[in-house]
Structure 1
Amino acid sequence: MSDVPTTPETPKLDAYHLDEGDWESYDQLVESFEWEIPDEFNIATYICDRWAEADPDRTALYIKDDQRGKGEYTFGEIQTAANRLANYFESQGIGRGDRIGVNVPQKAESVIGHVAAWKLGAVSVPLSTLFGTEGLRYRLDDSGASACLIDESTIDVYRSVADDLDDLGTVLTVGDVAPADGETDFWDTLEGYSDEFETVTTNAEDDLTIFYTSGTTGDPKGVRHAHRMHLGHLPLFSMWFTSLELTDNDVYWTPASWTWMGGLGIVVLPAMYYGKPTVGWNDQFEGEDVFGLVEEYGITNYWIPPTALRMMMQNEEAAEAHDLSSVRTITSGGESLGQTIVDWVKDTFAGADIHEGYGQTEANMLVGGCMPLDAHRPGKIGKAAPGQEVRILDPDTAEPTVEPGEVGEIGVRYEGNPVCFKQYWNKPEKTNRKVRNGWLLTEDLGTVDEDGYLEFVSRKDDVIISSGYRIGPEEIEDSLAGHDAVADAGVIGVTDDERGEVPKAYVTLAAEVEPSDSLVDELQQHVKDRLAKYEYPRHVEFIDELPRTATGKIRRTALEDRQAEG
């Protein structure tokens, strides 16, 4: 049962406590569900304040190898730190609507930074610690961030672009960093500020956060979400992530960075809403280490991409050496699981539920499985979440005229849907292309059968999905073209046994430059340094001329044909 604290300021919102229902079927649950979106809603109140005031010693986060030596943070401690940080930001002139970057991995400071921003009515901007100079500069500049938390893992990247960021005036460092001019240490700064702060009143429609996502053309897009987004995630979280069960022993985890929607939006924040702890862990993922993590913390539920599960499958000895009986539900998405993984999970984790799910940064938690309600089928992702209308649309007209079993574009009803983004930051024309005829277009192709089960077919565009990350080829092409040895480049996704898909670059060289293995290494490092480490082309092939359309665009389909021919 979900025994949540209830006050006049934080009514229970019964719609999101599906674990308390006695459901006979998926259809019965879906037919009875109705959205409950208060006019006034601030996520910080629901995920932090109400728990901190009712049960301050309740554990909110476990942080493995925490630099401060704590290892465990309660809701009371999160609230106290977030209140002090909010007071500090306010003293710096930062308030409602201002953007605050959070460039911190799976650490308590990350959650504190977001909660403090939302308490102010400000807008948080999650930023990956894997970004290189171009990736970090663009997002901080485009969002107009006036403050930012910078982790030790990214401090050198930040300092190399700091002079280019005119709007950024407040910088807090996290971790083992000696602050430079214009920077202050996160925890040292908080010491001078009050631990009392009244969370501002926000409308459910007010801006909450800007997640940046890559597409196939142009710069990364800032995805504006409102506070209501959080409520939009909860129905599928209850079915897909928790299998309609909340217990006093729940402990959640994901290898997905808390700087991405997958880590922050679909695991950490829903966990805190229900008063459950999440484990933070920043070591390099090796697969075998997960089994020890599960045993150490008694992890019950986790989201993990198929790539990571395949890595875990290579470590049977480690699996057999640890007690994995705590695991109840494993969820995945980003690419197809495949029956081999499903069978392995059922064998290794003593019959734990395993569910696939589907969504994207603009509209997540749309479709998923739920074994307790028999809402799962081999080879299918699952059914639409409660409150969601997901249809297969004609890719040209965006009309729901596609018959069951036929391939079309996956679309979700946009109007009145709390999970859908508001618009792209400063890109109205791209918003207009994303939302048509009342449908949010996912740009993915799929089918839905007569029983409502969704099957993913392919991307409509050229986005590369690697280990669950969506990678835009144009950003990589632009980065490669910035190297003196490169005349031009085209990037496609190629099949990879471990990651599902990885970027491959076809490169034409500048005059008098000769191809070599050392040049391949140099180009790969060039991209790593400027974009994100997962975006670099793992394969590079030198080519005399890139195939192009009549308008000069790279014909990636021709490159894919070349790859297929070997």
Structure 2
Amino acid sequence: MPTYDVPEAPDAPKLETYHFHEQDWDSYEQLVDSFEWEIPEEFNVATYICDRWAEAEPDRVALHIKDDPRGQGEYTFGEIQAAANRLANYLEEEGVERGDRIGVNVPQKPEAVVGHLAAWKLGAVSVPLSTLFGPDALRYRLNDCSATACIIDESTVDVYRSVRDEIDDLTTALTVGDVDQNDGEVDFWAAQEGHSEEFETRTTASDDDLTIFYTSGTTGEPKGVRHAHRMLLGHLPLFSSWFMNLELTDDDVYWTPASWTWMGGLGIVVLPAMFYGVPTVGWNEQFDGKDVFELIETYEITNYWIPPTALRMMMEEKEAAERHDVSSVRAITSGGESLGKTIVDWVKETFEGAAIHEGYGQTEANMVVGGCEPLDAVRQGKIGKAAPGQEVQILDPDTAEPTVEPGEVGEIGIWYENNPVCLKEYWNKPEKTDAKVQNGWLLTEDLGKMDEDGYLEFVSRKDDVIISSGYRIGPEEIEDSLAGHEAVADAGIIGVPDDKRGEVPKAYVKLSEGYESSESLAEELQQHVKERLAKYEYPRQLEFIDELPKTATGKIRRADLEKKHEESS
């Protein structure tokens, strides 16, 4: 299959160090030893993932959109650049300035990509917002980052309208899809009419803010993770070795079921794909294992990132796997929870010749560990090795020092200083940043162990974070939401095992005086959370309890709740 050259421009030199596919390597160690970060002083993601391709190959396809409501189906780099430029001109006219925050509350649609690009072209900061958010979650994030503009999808416009009057700084609202605009709202495409397709992308430093991803974390309010433009460069080494499998061709087509509103979809797949000029497939239907095989055949998908939960759903669709041609698949990557041998064996049998890689990272520092089959950097039961450019160590959980011996359990740490993949800081939460970064290490709050050859194995969460279908869920946000219901006096949340999702939140609820436990009340409380937070955060199990176990200082003893669940299972 023919390879192709990445275009160069005066304001976008090639950055040779991120093109592993153009060289032959004797070993993974040789690749790692030869790698050095190349981070220009001036670097704007929009220039590299859109402008340089649009100017060199305007008809090159950037996005395939299945069941596109606009009937277009394919969007070229030239078309995306023109739309982003028109939108940037509109937003500038509306008063959006460098450094302003722009919410992007849109799923796998071209408007999501155009919205982010327009923000970055202005030197503004985009804020991805899940379309699964309820009013409490959406209100908090838009207010916390003081967003001045927001792009809202038809699927979530009602949620937005329910909190619009409580969002302090918002002055511009664009809607996507079939929406009858309310006062102050403007259709996304109509807003661009009459505006120029020419716009000079602002010069930004590689350390200037690019985006704010919100993560629930494990304690307290959701935290805004500030990432700079350099983040994209931080993702490219592992993307090349792990996702691309050290191969880049004109036949490449990428996909992920992960929403483009969170790091897994936008940061792991869409942005690196566009950097290399590869089209990504957008698909907004409810995930169904059997439909994935048709999607792969239709678009001849070569590489995709998918959580183990979704792979397990695909495994159940034996007839669909046999019915469709999936020979295009070259590499499958996964993360968020461990891959088991059963999944790996199924992938090898179903997608003959395809590599299957596990990876590790988090919103604060993603794509830092992974496998690489072509260089034999894969070991059963292990996540993989540190990506080129990354230093990953097992730290003493008490001292944050790298004194843990091979094979012993400790906290997974990522070297923070001068690491482009790491967050700059938490938005307006300096104390959280100070706790996250110690002795030069970014503390993941995950426990793991590393063997003498450098292969990482995940053990457990250091804290109480729940990982469900790859989503990291903080229990306190769910507890606070439950406590907002008049029937709830107190609540505690733990993660419990689930065959399909890995873990799911389980709620233990103490009722207020005058209320009695019932199945209907349990369903009402679950719905209460589902409507206010992200739909993946609601407690799929709920049990009423007379009194919650607590420490002397009033903290919930989650270990006691976990023991109670185990005894009743």
The one-letter amino acid paired with 2:525 is L
The one-letter amino acid paired with 1:443 is E
The residue number in structure 2 matching 1:213 is 215
Partner SS state of residue 30, structure 2 = helix
1:508 equivalenced with 2:515 (yes/no):
no
Whether contact under 8 Å (1:126, 1:210) holds in the other structure is yes
In the alignment, which of 142, 145, 151 is matched to residue 143 of structure 1? 145
Unaligned runs of 5+ in 2: none
Alpha-carbon distance in structure 2 between the residues aligned to 1:15 and 1:548: 53
In the alignment, which of 362, 365, 379 is matched to residue 363 of structure 1? 365
Aligned counterparts, 1:400-415, within 5 A: 400-415=402-417
The residue number in structure 2 matching 1:29 is 31
Whether contact under 8 Å (1:434, 1:440) holds in the other structure is yes
Aligned counterparts, 1:121-132, within 5 A: 121-132=123-134
The residue number in structure 1 matching 2:439 is 437
The one-letter amino acid paired with 2:296 is V
Whether contact under 8 Å (1:375, 1:382) holds in the other structure is yes
In the alignment, which of 233, 241, 244 is matched to residue 231 of structure 1? 233
In the alignment, which of 8, 17, 20 is matched to residue 19 of structure 2? 17
Partner SS state of residue 415, structure 1 = coil
Whether contact under 8 Å (1:2, 1:19) holds in the other structure is no
Partner SS state of residue 412, structure 2 = strand
In the alignment, which of 467, 470, 474 is matched to residue 469 of structure 2? 467
The residue number in structure 1 matching 2:448 is 446
Alpha-carbon distance in structure 2 between the residues aligned to 1:351 and 1:317: 20
In the alignment, which of 219, 222, 225 is matched to residue 224 of structure 2? 222
Whether contact under 8 Å (1:335, 1:468) holds in the other structure is yes
Alpha-carbon distance in structure 1 between the residues aligned to 2:190 and 2:217: 39
The residue number in structure 1 matching 2:257 is 255
The residue number in structure 1 matching 2:381 is 379
Aligned counterparts, 1:173-188, within 5 A: 173-188=175-190
In the alignment, which of 323, 326, 332 is matched to residue 325 of structure 2? 323
Aligned counterparts, 1:260-275, within 5 A: 260-275=262-277
CA deviation map 1:474-531 (0-9, x unaligned): 0000000111111110000000000000000000011121111111110111001000
Alpha-carbon distance in structure 2 between the residues aligned to 1:356 and 1:251: 20
The one-letter amino acid paired with 1:227 is H
CA deviation map 1:124-171 (0-9, x unaligned): 000000000000000000010000000000000000000001200000
Partner SS state of residue 97, structure 2 = coil
Using structure 2 for the length normalisation, give the TM-score. Answer: 0.99
Alpha-carbon distance in structure 2 between the residues aligned to 1:216 and 1:482: 19
The residue number in structure 2 matching 1:396 is 398
User: How far apart are residue 112 of structure 1 and its match?
Assistant: 0.1
The residue number in structure 2 matching 1:94 is 96
In the alignment, which of 485, 490, 497 is matched to residue 487 of structure 2? 485
Whether contact under 8 Å (1:2, 1:274) holds in the other structure is no
Aligned counterparts, 1:60-209, within 5 A: 60-209=62-211
Partner SS state of residue 380, structure 1 = coil
Alpha-carbon distance in structure 2 between the residues aligned to 1:387 and 1:217: 31
The one-letter amino acid paired with 1:313 is M
CA deviation map 1:185-226 (0-9, x unaligned): 001111121110000000000000000001221100000000
User: How far apart are residue 350 of structure 1 and its match?
Assistant: 0.9
Whether contact under 8 Å (1:358, 1:366) holds in the other structure is yes
Partner SS state of residue 284, structure 1 = coil
Alpha-carbon distance in structure 1 between the residues aligned to 2:85 and 2:247: 32
4+ runs deviating over 3 angstroms = none
Whether contact under 8 Å (1:119, 1:198) holds in the other structure is yes
1:354 equivalenced with 2:356 (yes/no):
yes
- Change beyond 3 A, Cα 1:387–1:517: same
Partner SS state of residue 457, structure 1 = strand
Whether contact under 8 Å (1:2, 1:17) holds in the other structure is no
The residue number in structure 2 matching 1:552 is 554
The residue number in structure 2 matching 1:291 is 293
The residue number in structure 1 matching 2:541 is 539
The residue number in structure 2 matching 1:280 is 282
Alpha-carbon distance in structure 2 between the residues aligned to 1:47 and 1:328: 23
Alpha-carbon distance in structure 1 between the residues aligned to 2:522 and 2:285: 28
The residue number in structure 1 matching 2:5 is 3
Alpha-carbon distance in structure 2 between the residues aligned to 1:247 and 1:321: 27
Alpha-carbon distance in structure 2 between the residues aligned to 1:58 and 1:191: 24
The one-letter amino acid paired with 1:562 is K
Partner SS state of residue 161, structure 2 = helix
What is the alpha-carbon root mean square deviation over aligned residues?
0.5
Alpha-carbon distance in structure 2 between the residues aligned to 1:426 and 1:322: 50
CA deviation map 1:110-129 (0-9, x unaligned): 00000000000000000000
CA deviation map 1:262-290 (0-9, x unaligned): 00001000000000000000000011110
Whether contact under 8 Å (1:345, 1:351) holds in the other structure is no
- Change beyond 3 A, Cα 1:60–1:330: same
Whether contact under 8 Å (1:84, 1:195) holds in the other structure is yes
Partner SS state of residue 288, structure 1 = helix
Alpha-carbon distance in structure 2 between the residues aligned to 1:467 and 1:53: 39
1:499 equivalenced with 2:501 (yes/no):
yes
User: How far apart are residue 2 of structure 1 and its match?
Assistant: 4.5
Alpha-carbon distance in structure 1 between the residues aligned to 2:322 and 2:517: 47
Identity fraction in percent: 78
Alpha-carbon distance in structure 1 between the residues aligned to 2:232 and 2:471: 21
Alpha-carbon distance in structure 2 between the residues aligned to 1:52 and 1:130: 32
The one-letter amino acid paired with 1:256 is A
Partner SS state of residue 550, structure 1 = coil
The residue number in structure 2 matching 1:57 is 59
Using structure 1 for the length normalisation, give the TM-score. Answer: 1.00
Partner SS state of residue 216, structure 1 = coil
Alpha-carbon distance in structure 2 between the residues aligned to 1:20 and 1:334: 30
Alpha-carbon distance in structure 1 between the residues aligned to 2:12 and 2:141: 34
User: How far apart are residue 564 of structure 1 and its match?
Assistant: 1.2
The one-letter amino acid paired with 2:48 is Y
Partner SS state of residue 302, structure 1 = strand
User: How far apart are residue 21 of structure 1 and its match?
Assistant: 1.2
The one-letter amino acid paired with 2:61 is T
Alpha-carbon distance in structure 2 between the residues aligned to 1:444 and 1:484: 35
1:523 equivalenced with 2:503 (yes/no):
no
Partner SS state of residue 189, structure 2 = helix
User: How far apart are residue 351 of structure 1 and its match?
Assistant: 2.4
In the alignment, which of 411, 417, 420 is matched to residue 418 of structure 1? 420
Whether contact under 8 Å (1:382, 1:453) holds in the other structure is yes
